[in-house]
Amino acid sequence: MVTSRHEASHRIFQERPELLAPVFRLLGVPLPAKAAVEVLTADVTEIRPLERRVDSVLRIEPIGDGKSDGGGGFLLAIEAQGRQDRAKPVSWAYYMSFLKAKYACPVLLLVVCHDKATADWAAGPFRLGVEDWTSLSVHPLVMGPGNVPVITDPEEAAEDLAMATFSAMTHGSSEDAPAILDALARALGAADPESSTYYSELLEIGLGDSRAGETWRKLMPIRTYFPGRGTMIELALQEGETKGRAEERAQMVLRVLETREVAVTPEVRERVVQCADLDMLGRWLDRAFVVSRAEEIFDE
């Protein structure tokens, strides 16, 4: 089942590919010094009967001389894994074989985990075959609490917001979570508005209803990148839009009365302006066209 936390764990690589450089350094895997990153379709369905889908697939191509930068282009399949699943290694082997056949270039598998037990399991290797005979072996790259840095310094977080956010998601269940979140909140407070909004909302989704998620919502008191998720930011935006519509409709009520030369007392004006109920304002607007006294718009 795809969850918000699951989505955030791999989507950050699609939308902030600069995270790949520090991640690959942590994994000890060479990455071209200059590279173009392209998001590919995650659909690896070969025929209709069974649909298969990777969480994220990126094509990484070196810019310039690929040989001097440590190799040519390759594909990176990214899977967010929340628990151990005996069926997954077979799916991973299929994904990598399919992508290799389709794009004719090397494929790496990166598995992102939020707990150490799952990360230890995901590291494999997974050997597919009969008894002692290995027909195929899967060796995932794994990012989890064991190798993702704990970033509790606001200045360090500000230098790499993507990695700081990834650190907060990965260590959301650890005792370091409050310090990590506090450092990131301070860093985002000094960041540009677009980055602050994006990472704040992504982390809210990534932490979900956990205790760390509750802490984050208190720390980060706004355009939404994840419509329909019901995040704090999206609800705040919706509330702001509703308030704006109510203010506009209230002014329409008063303008109709004034255009018809119906005297509007300060009490009537105050009541209309303070109303936030769009339906109520709509009824008052209808009555504003026919009443002889302003107070009559409030009559049911």
Please give the pLDDT value at position 84: 92
C-alpha span between 51 and 55 (Å, rounded): 13
Task: Decide: residue 133, CB within 10 A, 0-12 exposed, 13-18 middle, 19+ buried.
Answer: exposed
Residues 189/164, Cβ–Cβ less than 8 Å: no
Please give the pLDDT value at position 144: 92
The DSSP element (H or E) to which 56 belongs, if any, is: strand 56-62
| DSSP SS3 for 14 | helix
User: How many Cβ atoms are within 10 Å of 39's Cβ, its own excluded?
Assistant: 14
Please give the pLDDT value at position 285: 85
C-alpha span between 165 and 48 (Å, rounded): 38
Provide the residue type at 159 as one letter.
Answer: E
What residues contact 121, with CB distance under 8 A and at least 6 apart? 84
Q: What is this structure's pTM?
A: 0.63
Q: Provide the β-strand partners of residue 142.
A: 111
**E strand intervals along 25-106:** 35-40, 56-62, 74-81
User: How many Cβ atoms are within 10 Å of 243's Cβ, its own excluded?
Assistant: 11
Rg (C-alpha) for the chain, rounded Å, is: 27
Please give the pLDDT value at position 66: 46
pLDDT of the chain along its 300 residues, tens only?
445 667 777 777 777 777 777 888 888 877 777 777 777 766 655 544 445 678 888 888 887 654 444 457 889 999 989 889 998 999 999 999 999 998 888 999 999 998 899 999 999 899 888 877 888 899 999 999 999 999 999 899 999 999 999 999 999 888 889 999 988 988 888 888 888 888 888 888 888 888 888 888 877 764 455 656 666 656 665 666 677 778 888 888 898 888 888 899 999 899 999 998 888 888 888 888 888 889 988 887
